[in-house]
Amino acid sequence: MRTMTVAVLFIFSVFGAQLLRLQGFDASGVSQTAASKRLGTIVYPAMRGSIVDRNGTILASSVERRTVTVDQTAVTKYVKPVNGVRAVVGVAGAAKDLSPLLGIPVDTLVTNLTGTSRYRVLAKNVTPLNWRKISELGINGIYSEATTDRNYPTSTAAASLVGFVQSDGSPGGGLEVLMNSTLKGKAGKTMFEQSQDGRAIPNARQETIPSVPGKDVKLTIDSDLQWFAQNAVAQKVIETKALSGTVVVTNVKTGELLAVASYPTFDPNQPGQSTENWTNKAFNDVYEPGSTGKVMTAAAAIEEGAITPSTVVEVPNRIHRSGTEFKDSHDHPTEYLTFAGVLAQSSNIGTILAGEKVKATTMYSYFKKFGLGATSGMGFPGEGPGLLTNVKDWNGSQRYTVLFGQGLSVNALQAAGVFQTIANDGVRIPPRIVAATSDGHGNYTPVEKAKGIRVVSPETAKEVRDMLEGVVGKEGTAPEAKIPGYRVAGKTGTADRYDAKVGGYSGKTASFIGFAPADDPEIVVAVTLQRPIKGYFGGAVAGPVFKDVMTYALQELQVPPTGTKPPVVKIKADPTPDPSDPSVVRDKASSAARAGH
């Protein structure tokens, strides 16, 4: 008896201690645990902010949608009037009533409604109007969850630029990723007490935290110009059987991107159908620019006082540097061109002869100031800095190839930025694409503008602009780029294209970059096509696209012709200079060989 009494007292003391712990020391924690088990939570996704162009045209927006779910165990109790008498119609009746509203065959719905699952998704992206009709049916076990659907009205026209949203609501590329923190907002939720079967307990405690919608983002892009540029480059890529193409349109004085077209593209409303085209090639693809890069060499040589536009250059058929033979795009006898003529006729040899008069370290510093070897600073997903090897690591031939745009790599934005600098009196303005963000009440706060960087003097920029007008002249390489009524300046580019897949050069990169009006520049248009097959010279392939896009841009932005006459650009020396004339830039090795002969 004593033993049993001690045992009973011991057991009761344990129970007492546990009761004291639960109701005394751990009362708060136990209460919270119990509450959490009977609390249900419904999450309300935040409405994602819109992306609009400079004029307020919607490029991306979110709309309210519903995900319809079912508790299969409850559908069997569905009751509705049949011939004036309420009757249990169950799964068959529910499937018949839901089919026209969900757009799902009756047989499929019968399968989805039958079973013991307490939760199953029937349909996604159901409109609020359709859900209201479904709810009014009063079918047991049919519920809905609030969600949103992202819509892109311009479809493929700005797909790789704007980006897309994935099925789980996360951003999948482009500006959707770049501006996600601004666009996404904050989800809300409702917490309620629920019974064992998961239903809300009437009149029980309930707390709702409303969602906070995301803020809108306004771009510098002009939607109409973006659409036109996208279609223009797409047509040319298809026509020439090119691998890809880009068009970049920039405001000269502000650096604002007015259009960034990339083809091939995809439909952001159904992004899974073409995953390989998600990236915007104007930001992501890097390539050797070829002759458009000669503009940097010309500007540096003039700025350093090594040469002038009227300086005569003796251009032989071949020159040799560092064990490498260099030539122009075609064979020719020895020519005497002005430096303006060298640029107009895109002579590699003439560019080398002028560019080597500037120290390699100095030329490298100009490349850096023009923005090569660094990203734009916008933070666009996947944007590459290009490739600019440090001057200390240049090999023998690279010292000369960089002068005519080979041996270094850029993306389309950097290439356009070189011409924006020359058009803007020698001041480079880093490009920008986001103009402002909303405060959620209809007002926009402008994004801070980047400061300009002086690269060359206004006088040098003016001389290079005049030289570039000669490119579209009758003796230049791109007369196809002329626009009636406007003065146009620009440069062709036809470069060997490096293909990492084959580990060497394969095909060509054809480009034309220019600005207008040449005497008071407003707009830069850069057109680049990768590996075109049916024609590959920049003037013939990219020049017509430039002309079409620039013509549309001038009209869209209401830029009037200036009415001034273009300068007379002298291309060839007349008469032929004396062989002993010290003012003529010559290849010393070739001159010595002729003297010895």
Residue 512 DSSP SS3: strand
User: Dihedrals φ, ψ of 129, to 5°?
Assistant: -65, -45
| Cα angle: 133, vertex 138, 143; to 5 degrees | 80
Query: CA separation (Å) from 480 to 244, 464, 477, 492, 509?
Result: 21, 20, 9, 11, 18
The number of angstroms, rounded, from the C-alpha of 181 to the middle of its chain's C-alpha atoms is 17
- Closest alpha carbon to 491 in 307, 287, 249, 293: 293
Sign, CA torsion 153/157/162/164: positive
CA distance 496 to 372: 19
Closest-CA residue to 412 (of 298, 531, 265, 527)? 527
E strands within 252-305? Answer: 257-263
Burial 426-456 (b: 16+ CB within 10 A, else e): bbbbbbbbbbbbbeeeeebeeeeebebeebb
Phi, psi (deg, nearest 5) at residue 372: -75, 150
Distance CA(255)–CA(431), nearest Å, equals 5
d(CA 248, CA 177) in angstroms, rounded, equals 21
Using CA atoms, how far apart are residues 290 and 351, in angstroms rounded to an integer? Answer: 12
Q: Which amino acid is at 451?
A: K
Alpha-helix residue ranges (DSSP H) falling in 310-432: 339-344, 348-355, 360-369, 398-401, 412-423
**Alpha carbon distance 465, 461 (integer Å):** 6
291, 347, 511, 590: the catalytic one is 291
> What's the chain's length in residues?
597
Q: Which two tokens stand for residue 504?
A: 């060497």
347 is a catalytic site residue: no
Is residue 138 classed exposed, middle or buried when 0-12, 13-18 and 19+ CB atoms within 10 A define those classes?
Answer: exposed
Query: At residue 58, what are phi and psi to the nearest 5 degrees?
Result: -75, 125
Q: Active-site residue numbers?
A: 291
